[in-house]
Amino acid sequence: MILVTGGTGLVGSHLLYRLVDQGKKVKALYRTQNSLKKVLEIFGYYSENPQTLFDRILWVEGDIVDLVTLEGVFDGVDQVYHSAAFISFDPKHYRSLVKTNVEGTANIVNLCVKHKVKKLCYVSSIAAIGSAAKDGITTEDNDWSDLNVSVYGLTKHQAELEVWRGTQEGLPAVIVNPGVVIGPGFWRTGSGTFFTYAAKGKKTYIPGGTGFVSVNDVVSGMISLMESTVEKERFILVSENWSYQQLFQKIAPKLGVEPPSKKVPFWVLEIFWRWDWLRSKLSGKRRRLAKAMAKSLYHQQHYSSEKIKNAINFKFEDLDRAISFCCEKFKNRR
């Protein structure tokens, strides 16, 4: 039996589809009934009978921070994909981030060790990878530094330390560090906001850039690593290093609009994050642009995925094709 946490998210829902489509026995955690609707929608993107596949999953209501619920969930489980996480770059959410990302991961690791799970795959992020030297290539071996790191990246790094602790206690485990994950269905969060923004015909784009990867590649990488003999390793999953301008130039034409053509100046970012901090302090509303995020937009980070290519002969799909698929689903939804 395979246990999936975070199964109602972008990566988790696509992972669940792939696993049940392969005939695997799967158990998945969920927090609310409403979140299950999104999983069924995602299944419908790939199957003519999504309900049939959905019904093969043993759904268990629970939360990774609730040890009482988790104890029973691990009965009969021999593999765990841990993709549940709280995503926020707002420093005022730090305690919540620690609770879910660090303490929740510690719970999963402890129960994997206790129940002698055969293997764990933890979904981390490139946000937990140390920065390369200026204009250099970022790899899994980069030194970690807490300086100018988002609170999200900090807690994902701390969560990875919990996984490494588990490996010292005899737990076979691998970690994947995906870039910005491109996939359909979640248009108001994550990479989905790029499609929503582009569709509005906006004229400006943010500077800088990062690594991007399709959700299908993330899922394929996770499953391939779990089926391999590889353990006690982490792998960057990035198929393309693009600027945000390049990304919009890929998305906008497929949505029938002109891509943004004016870059937001750095001085505007400097003013905005300060104004945003003050606004949040006075109103209590969430931050839209934290200082660490603003600083990250000053340059483009380049990531190498050579390690996973060499370790398991992994090949990435054409990201342009993945974007086209997302645009098609986005237009159908509208």
| 16-75 confidence digits (pLDDT tens) | 999 999 999 999 998 888 889 999 999 999 998 899 999 999 999 989 998 888 888 998
- pLDDT at position 261, please? 86
Q: Give the SS3 label for residue 246.
A: helix
Q: Give the SS3 label for residue 97.
A: helix
DSSP state of 127: G
Q: Which parts of the chain register pLDDT below 70?
A: 132-135, 273, 276-277, 281, 289-291, 293-295, 334
- pLDDT at position 150, please? 87
Between CA 223 and CA 95 the distance in angstroms is 31
pLDDT tens by residue, 89-109: 888 889 999 999 999 999 999
- pLDDT at position 190, please? 87
Between CA 70 and CA 63 the distance in angstroms is 7
Token pair of 151, please?
């609170």
- pLDDT at position 289, please? 66
Q: Which of 127, 225, 228, 235 has the alpha carbon at shortest distance from 176?
A: 235
- pLDDT at position 133, please? 61
Residues 74 and 115 sit within 8 Å (Cβ to Cβ): yes
Q: Classify the C-alpha dihedral 93-95-101-107 as positive or negative.
A: negative
Q: Domain-by-domain residue ranges, the chain?
A: 2-181+214-238+302-318
**Whole-prediction pTM value?**
0.92
Between CA 121 and CA 226 the distance in angstroms is 7
Token pair of 282, please?
């006075």
Half-sphere exposure (CA, 13 Å, Cβ side) for 79? Answer: 15
What is the CATH number assigned to the segment(s) 2-181+214-238+302-318? 3.40.50.720
- pLDDT at position 264, please? 79
Between CA 129 and CA 48 the distance in angstroms is 39
